[in-house]
Structure 1
Amino acid sequence: MRLFTIGFTQSSAAHFFGRLKEAGVTRLIDVRLNRRSQLAGFAKEGDLAWFARELCGIETEHALALAPTPALLGAYRAGEVDWPEYAARFKRLIARRRIETQLDRARLDGACLLCSEALPHHCHRRVVAEYLRETWGKVEVVDL
């Protein structure tokens, strides 16, 4: 199984959708808590779905169970918790949610987890991908 991850900040629309298309992504799974911000540009809720479908033939879906809580995200953004603590708390949260039992593994093969962070190193999409690899086994995680 191959699971992609991607962020949209610091990327043009052409580069972003080009990476999805070139990789052969089959489904775009939005794992953001807030998808309506004007700062999201082409990745705003309705625009993202239209662009992905029209430019790449990819359907999108929102998976709120794969997003942090407002309180957890707020604490991280405010500097109240550092990255290692945030990642550990988020991993415990998705384990409590039992996301591995809520997701269809076959539908995720070739899918791409989307959030805003340009790089995956300090992003919750990477925590989700690694958690699924740990619980499901044999998941290749590819950061676009």
Structure 2
Amino acid sequence: MMNLYTIGFTKKNAERFFTFLKESDVKTLIDVRLNNVSQLAGFAKRDDLKFFLKELCGADYVHSPELAPTKEILSAYKKGEMPWSVYEDKFLNLMSQRNIEKLITPKLLEDGCLLCSEHEPHLCHRSLVIQYLNEHSNLELKVKHLY
């Protein structure tokens, strides 16, 4: 059984965000966002995250855009042009085409944490990544959502 966490940075200040990660003993924050340098991200921008994670949590930062939807899929969903069920199907198919189960190593996931912007995981692609890996890899993931 492998521990894996997920977190969204919205609706959290920096103190709460980094406290969650530190208390969970996260070893690697795995950024599954398409855009990891948005000005809207505040403390969760790529370069700031790398610094804060190392200094505050002793953790590493990895950007894994192969675990993010395409701009087209994400945009259609965000604009309301695509319901969650279609988004889910398209994203699961995309991960299958990318063979993410072969790209993502157990070492990366062990005590790792998937990062996205969404506060709650149930309508976020980070939950779909976990669902896909549970179904298509030999990994047995014990998942805890931090929010």
TM-score norm. by structure 1 comes to: 0.97
Matched residue of 2:6: which SS? Answer: strand
- Residue 50 (structure 1) aligned with residue 48 (structure 2): no
Same amino acid, percent of matched pairs: 49
Structure 2, unpaired ranges of 5+: none
Q: Which residue of 2 aligns with 1:96?
A: 97
- Residue 131 (structure 1) aligned with residue 135 (structure 2): no
- Residue 6 (structure 1) aligned with residue 7 (structure 2): yes
- Report deviation, 1:24: 1.0
AA aligned opposite 1:109:
E
Matched residue of 2:132: which SS? Answer: helix
Paired residues, number: 144
Question: Is the Cα contact below 8 Å between 1:130 and 1:141 reproduced in 2?
Answer: no
AA aligned opposite 1:75:
A
Give RMSD over aligned pairs: 0.9
Residue-by-residue CA offset, 1:59-88 (whole Å, 9 max, x unaligned): 101001001000000110111111121111
Separation of aligned partners in 2, 1:60 and 1:49? 6
Structure 1, unpaired ranges of 5+: none
Separation of aligned partners in 2, 1:119 and 1:79? 18
Residue-by-residue CA offset, 1:67-111 (whole Å, 9 max, x unaligned): 100000011011111112111110110011000001111221110
Among residues 122, 134, 144, which one is paired with 1:142 in the alignment? 144
The runs of at least 4 consecutive aligned structure 1 residues that moved more than 3 Å come to: none
- Report deviation, 1:47: 0.5
- Report deviation, 1:38: 0.8
After TM superposition, the structure 1 stretch with the greater mean CA deviation from structure 2, 26-35 or 128-137, is 128-137
Matched residue of 2:77: which SS? Answer: helix
- Report deviation, 1:43: 0.1
TM-score norm. by structure 2 comes to: 0.95
Question: Is the Cα contact below 8 Å between 1:42 and 1:48 reproduced in 2?
Answer: yes
Q: Which residue of 2 aligns with 1:72?
A: 73
- Report deviation, 1:5: 0.5
